[in-house]
Amino acid sequence: MTRMQREPVAPLTPASSVPGRSSHPAPWRALRAWIASPPVREPLAVFVLSRGLFLLLTYFGVILFNSQLHGPHPSFLHQLLPAWNNAPLLLGNRRWDTEWYLGIAQQGYGWKRDAGTSPAAFFPLYPLLIRAGVALTHRSYIVVALVVSNLAFLAGLGYLWRLAERETDRTVAGRTALYIAVFPTALFFFAGYTESLFLLLSVASFFHMRRRQWLLAGLFGAFASAMRVTGVLLVLPLVYEYARDRNFSPRAILSGTGLLGAALVPVGLLTFMVYLQQTVGDALAFTHSQVAWQKIFTPWLWAGLLESFRQIFVVQPWASFYQAHNVINLVLGGLFLALSYFAARQLPRAYGIYLAAFWLVTLASPAIAGGYPVPLISLSRYILTLFPVFLYMGMLGRRQAVHDAYLVLAVGMLALLTVQFVNGGWVI
pLDDT tens by residue, 182-196: 999 999 999 999 999
The Cα–Cα gap between 82 and 63 comes to: 13
Residue 22, pLDDT above cutoff 80? no
For the ranges 59-73, 76-90, 260-274, 313-327, the lowest mean pLDDT is seen at 76-90
Q: What are the pLDDT digits (tens) for 253-280? A: 999 899 999 999 999 999 999 999 999 8
Residue 24, pLDDT above cutoff 70? no
What's the pLDDT score for residue 291?
A: 86
Residue 93, pLDDT above cutoff 50? no
What's the pLDDT score for residue 365?
A: 94
**What single-letter DSSP state applies at residue 213?**
-
Q: Give 20-55 as a 3 state SS string.
A: CCCCCCHHHHHHHHHHHCHHHHHHHHHHHHHHHHHH
Structural domain count of the chain: 1
For the ranges 57-61, 76-80, 127-131, the lowest mean pLDDT is seen at 76-80
Short-list 267, 169, 160, CA closest to 204: 160
Residue 9, pLDDT above cutoff 70? no
419 sits in which H/E element: helix 400-422
Q: Where are the alpha helices (DSSP H) in 311-386?
A: 321-346, 349-363, 379-382
pTM recorded for the entire structure: 0.91
The Cα–Cα gap between 64 and 54 comes to: 15
Mean pLDDT of 90-101: 67
Q: Where are the alpha helices (DSSP H) in 138-247?
A: 141-167, 170-181, 195-210, 214-225, 235-245
Mean pLDDT of 303-315: 96
Mean pLDDT of 169-192: 97
What's the pLDDT score for residue 77?
A: 78
Residue 92, pLDDT above cutoff 70? no
Short-list 311, 324, 302, 219, CA closest to 266: 219
Using 50, 70 and 90 to split pLDDT, how confident is the model at 72? confident
Mean pLDDT of 194-222: 98
Is 56 domain-assigned? yes
What's the pLDDT score for residue 427?
A: 84
- Three-state DSSP class for 112? coil
Is 379 domain-assigned? yes
Mean pLDDT of 107-127: 85
Short-list 85, 227, 200, CA closest to 143: 85
Using 50, 70 and 90 to split pLDDT, how confident is the model at 226? very high
The Cα–Cα gap between 368 and 304 comes to: 7
Sort 28 into a burial class: Cβ within 10 Å, 0-12 / 13-18 / 19+: exposed
The Cα–Cα gap between 57 and 59 comes to: 6
Is 23 domain-assigned? no
- Work out the percent of the chain whose per-residue pLDDT is above 70: 91
Using 50, 70 and 90 to split pLDDT, how confident is the model at 95? low
Is 107 domain-assigned? yes
For the ranges 112-116, 229-233, 333-337, 398-402, the lowest mean pLDDT is seen at 112-116
Using 50, 70 and 90 to split pLDDT, how confident is the model at 83? confident
Check residues 19 and 213 and name the one with the higher pLDDT.
Answer: 213
The Cα–Cα gap between 149 and 75 comes to: 28
Is 231 domain-assigned? yes
The Cα–Cα gap between 142 and 134 comes to: 9
What's the pLDDT score for residue 27?
A: 83
Inter-axis angle of helices 349-363 and 235-245, nearest 10: 160
Residue 13, pLDDT above cutoff 60? no
Check residues 73 and 372 and name the one with the higher pLDDT.
Answer: 372
What's the pLDDT score for residue 257?
A: 93
Single-letter amino acid code for the residue at 304: G
Mean pLDDT of 14-23: 51
8 A C-beta contact, residue 211 and residue 203: no
> 304 vs 122, 130, 187, 338, CA distance in Å?
22, 34, 25, 16
Mean pLDDT of 36-53: 94
Short-list 175, 190, 203, 217, CA closest to 385: 203
**Across the chain, what does the average pLDDT equal?**
90
Is 220 domain-assigned? yes
Q: What are the pLDDT digits (tens) for 28-44? A: 888 888 888 888 999 99
Domain limits at 53?
A: 40-64+80-422
Is 26 domain-assigned? no
Is 70 domain-assigned? no
CB atoms within 10 A of CB 237: 26
